[in-house]
Chains A and B, each alone.
Chain A
């Protein structure tokens, strides 16, 4: 059977990884190449690189660095941030990305998913949604979680999948940064609504949160986190051992 995936996410700004990463044995903790290699070698099943650069110079730099990251890691690589057109897909795929994650770009232009899926295949297109509870419903937020789009989230994700998105990342704004565990209440109905892989993001505070995630929602495919991995609070090898002990199939 397919193993459950553990995915570290790295935010890159102006060519450097942000969020004060601290690892022993790494000379340059903000080098995307060094960190990518580190994660790839210590058992991460996939890496997500998120470009949070605003300037076009920064974007060019990101593309150069991406090429270097991709030539040094041999696990699947997903790239997101600033993906607004099919040309953006082309730009990052040519640098060695395997999947491209779209968020605000798909809200502005839902056709983007259809066009990209037609050109590169569904497996290449990931819809990433920032979701928050508003008046008792799940709403999609744009602009890095700052703007309420008024769009109901579950219907939105279903439409994205119908249009050709081959994977879904659910980032709960409500649990993000709280470190109290994944947003199971939000993830469950989304998992039931679509038949493509769903990745949980937002809220992981300790290794046990992943056990709970995969136990309570057996259909979830992966858990994504940033800070708990970056700060060394959870080591991926230890996490996988714990999952394995709990009879959750992982790649060891």
Chain B
């Protein structure tokens, strides 16, 4: 059983539907016991980093997610959920993340050429920087759907894919059993579903 962690941030309808589409049993839950019993975890998230990190802490889910990930359980962070995996974020102030992956989250503003629109919204091609089991069913140059204004930096050790937007932008990361996608696999058509499928096959 796969658990989609519900901590009151964003709508999890599409994410739950996409696991259903690939025939995977997924439960949307904020219950610590259920999360402990699940064999895989999804950490979703939209909105502001500080607010999301705080909500995760208030519900005591930050420690749970961290402990489960450190015990070797496959974890996939999506969009803001991926950003939360890092040590810290500079989105409107400075906020601590879960620290499961080395690196930090910084604004795109000032980091990319001025003529490019922010947020980075739309379909962009993936460029693999390292091989990863997450990409088992997809290929280089496949397009995925992004919506974000901040991105992860200084995370080269864990970097597995980038997308070009004025500069290479962190698209996906992996450290052992901890995975993250800046893009939305649940909105990325067949390519996205194939990424989720590969994640579901991890042990």
Contacts and interface: CB of A to CB of B under 8 A. Distances in A.
Judge: A and B partners, yes or no.
yes
A23 interface: no
A168 B199 CA distance: 36
Given A5-B122, A5-B123, A98-B187, 17 more contacts: A1-B165, A2-B123, A3-B123, A71-B17, A74-B186, A74-B189, A74-B192, A74-B193, A75-B188, A95-B13, A121-B47, A122-B119, A123-B121, A123-B147, A166-B121, A167-B121, A251-B143
B145 interface: yes
Nearest to B18: A74
Contacts of A21: none
A166 B119 contact: yes
Interface in B116-159: 117, 119-125, 143, 145, 147
Interface string B45-79: 01100000000000000000000000000000000
Residue from B20, B187, B190, B192 having most chain A Cβ neighbours under 10 A? B187
B11 interface: yes
Interface of A: 1-3, 5, 40-41, 45, 67, 70-72, 74-76, 93-96, 98, 121-123, 166-167, 195-197, 221, 251
A76 B187 contact: yes
Interface in B86-124: 117, 119-124
Given A3-B143, A197-B121, A74 B188 contact: yes
B25 interface: no
19 contacts: A2-B121, A2-B124, A3-B122, A3-B143, A40-B189, A67-B13, A71-B17, A74-B17, A74-B18, A75-B189, A76-B187, A96-B11, A96-B17, A122-B119, A166-B119, A167-B121, A195-B117, A197-B117, A221-B122
Interface of B: 11, 13-14, 17-18, 20-21, 46-47, 117, 119-125, 143, 145, 147, 164-165, 186-190, 192-193
Contacts of B14: 70-71, 74, 96, 98
Given A2-B122, A2-B123, A94 B145 contact: no
A93 B117 CA distance: 24
Given A74-B193, A96-B14, A251 B121 contact: no
A111 to B, nearest CB: 21
A71 B123 contact: no
A152 B9 CA distance: 38
Contacts of B186: 74
Contacts of A71: 13-14, 17, 20
The 3 closest A-B pairs by CB, nearest first: A251-B143, A71-B17, A2-B122
B110 to A, nearest CB: 15
Nearest to B21: A74
Nearest to B185: A74
B184 to A, nearest CB: 8
B92 to A, nearest CB: 13
Contacts of A93: 11
Contact of A1 (B46, B121, B164): B164
A70 B17 contact: yes
Contact of B120 (A2, A5, A67, A251): A2
Nearest to B16: A71
Contacts of B11: 93-94, 96
Nearest to B188: A74
A74 B143 CA distance: 13
Nearest to B192: A74
A164 to B, nearest CB: 12
Nearest to B193: A74
A123 B13 contact: no
Contacts of B164: 1
Contacts of A96: 11, 13-14, 17
